[in-house]
Amino acid sequence: MKVTRLPAIHHDSNVVLVSGALGSVLIDAGTSWYQALQVERIQGQLKEQTLDRILLTSRRYPFAGGAKHVSDAFGNIPIHIHEEGQPALETGDFFTTWANRYDSDMPSTLTIRVEENELFALGDGDIQAISLPGHAPDGMGYLIPHLSTMVVGALLPRADRPARWDLPGGSLMSLIKSFEWLKSKNLASIVPMQGPAIRGKEHVRDVVCRHLDFFIESVERDGHPPKSWARPTPTALWLTPMTPWPLEEHEQV
């Protein structure tokens, strides 16, 4: 099995292509701003293979905005998302998808509900769907068990950027539960929303624990980040510390 991270462009999320003996799956699709370029990047990686389906970690525009175009480009392939995200995508809701913050429309996108623990078999490995709410109730993570690798989307924007819980559908307490689950899995690699993969069990644990501690401390501050932190820009899906959290350079996925 081959896992390829196509680095985020501007506001886009990382796009992850997972290819196996029985086919290929795309995890997230970026915004509609660069959707034609995304198709070219995916085609360049696939070569003679086909793309079979798209798995979305979130209804938010940076993850789902380009999904319809990419689906159409590869023969109207199915798009999977948590049931909480289906109405927003299928009606083109530009508010809860956050597309309005990017001065963009959200394409009306037909989707298929992804079930908790649903497996997508690729022949030489599986992808397992895991519900990870907090940033939004439809937050999903996709685990590749035999590689101990997980794509987590907006739950972890970057190693040095904690997720926001003040957007439509966000929940600080759900973020804490999701990070407690991540901590319990002792993963070898996490692919965040943007930036390089977080690699190595010790490094992954350090990052997960730092974010978890931050969210617990925020509960003690009545659900607010530290007052010293700057107010997020309207398009940001993350909080940014005044002094950047450490981010070590690791081999990229």
* Full set of structural domains in the chain with CATH: 2-220 (3.60.15.10)
Calculate the average pLDDT of the chain: 94
Torsion of the alpha carbons at 5, 211, 145 and 132, rounded to the nearest 10: -90
* Predicted local distance difference test score (pLDDT) of residue 248: 53
39, containing H or E segment:
helix 35-46
* Predicted local distance difference test score (pLDDT) of residue 183: 97
Q: What average pLDDT does this structure show over 108-113? A: 97
User: How far is residue 186's CA from residue 168's CA, in Å, rounded to a whole number?
Assistant: 30
Q: Residue 140 has what DSSP assignment?
A: E
- In the sheet with 140-144, reading across from the earlier edge strand, the strands are 119-121, 126-131, 140-144, 149-153, 189-192, 198-199
pLDDT-based confidence at 247, cuts 50/70/90? low
Start-to-end CA span in the chain (Å): 13
The two three-digit tokens of residue 181, written as one number: 């689950």
Bridge partners of 127, per DSSP, are 120
Q: What is the pTM of this model?
A: 0.95
Q: What average pLDDT does this structure show over 62-81? A: 98
Reply yes or no on whether the pLDDT at 227 is more than 90: no
Q: Which residue has the tokens 């979130």?
A: 58
Buried b (16+ CB within 10 A) or exposed e, 6-23: bebbebbbbbbbbbbeeb
Contact criterion met (CB below 8 Å) for 173 and 180: no
The per-residue pLDDT for range 10-52, each reduced to its tens digit, is 999 999 999 999 999 999 999 999 999 999 999 999 988 899 9
Angle between helix axes 172-185 and 201-220 (nearest 10 degrees) is 160
User: Mind giving me the DSSP string for 69-109?
Assistant: HHHHHTTS--EEE-GGGHHHHHHT-TTTT-GGGGT------
Q: Residue 30 has what DSSP assignment?
A: -
What is the identity of the amino acid at 29?
A: A
The per-residue pLDDT for range 157-212, each reduced to its tens digit, is 999 999 999 998 999 999 999 999 999 999 999 999 999 999 999 999 999 999 99
User: How far is residue 31's CA from residue 127's CA, in Å, rounded to a whole number?
Assistant: 23
> Rounded to a whole number, what is the largest CA-CA distance in the chain?
53
- The least confident of 48-52, 53-57, 139-143 is 48-52
